[in-house]
Structure 1
Amino acid sequence: MKTLALLLLLFSASSHAEIRPFVPGSLQQIQAEQAGKPFILALWSATCIHCPGELKTLAKLARRHPRLNIVLLATDTPDEAAQLEKLALGYGLGKQAQWVFADPQPEKLRYQIDRRWFGELPRTYFFDRNHQRTASSGVIPVEQLEHWVGEHVK
């Protein structure tokens, strides 16, 4: 019985990433973890109508480019972590780094991410190797994603 429990624990740990709380200072932590590497920060929500398509496209991109780093940031709450994990797994992004807003004032977190972002989703930030970033709101065309990956992910 203990062996079965251990195997289930190992399987679940390897099948998806833990969702971490996004609080003031978390963006700097994400950038430190991605130091010297280009990455995509994808902001989404379980209630966003256009987010599933965007996330499925990012999953396909990640499968075609295994060196691509994608960080998911849900603008929901930690109370919804189980649902967010399930959705990310279903979209094919279960192994990507995952975060969720964890502040009672989400506006404060939005402001720390980008003073010009007003909460529209999906919102995507492209960080190059030096962590210079560009932002895009709405669904991003596959061609634009492929172009960015071709330029930045080697």
Structure 2
Amino acid sequence: MLTGDNERTADSIGWEIGIDKVYAELLPEDKLEVIRQLQQQYPSVAMVGDGINDAPALAQASVGIAMGTAGSDVALETADVVLMADRLEKLEYAIRLGRRSERIVKQNIIFALSFIVILLIANFTGNMTLPLGVLGHEGSTVLVILSGLRLLKD
């Protein structure tokens, strides 16, 4: 946890929410330096912030996450992700949704391209009429759209 608050308050909050490492009484450039040090140790470093003092660290982090309603304009503009409800527990949902979206998009692209290849082969071998080709293509488009709607589930 990186904070500009005094050490006693920061340690108390860190202990309450289960954070092992707390950095307190930090200026914006100090937060930036801590992020750089963490990036040397770990491949990805996320930073959650809401104020103008967090903007440099948000920009440096692998993923900058701003708390939307309480956040300053600079933090919101700098961050990669903005949590509009100011509820950090929504971050886990956003990550799961992003991964699921990526998986479904890849599946849809593979399906669509495969179907087009099948239609092309059928066309060049003379086994496909124009109306059947159009119907097949448009039908596969509808299937891709319906597949994408799976993201609404949850």
What TM-score results when the alignment is normalised by the length of structure 1? 0.27
Q: Which structure would you say has the larger Rg?
A: 2
Q: Which has the higher contact order (CA 8 A, sep 6+)?
A: 1
User: Which structure carries more strand by proportion?
Assistant: 1
User: Which structure carries more helix by proportion?
Assistant: 2
What TM-score results when the alignment is normalised by the length of structure 2? 0.27
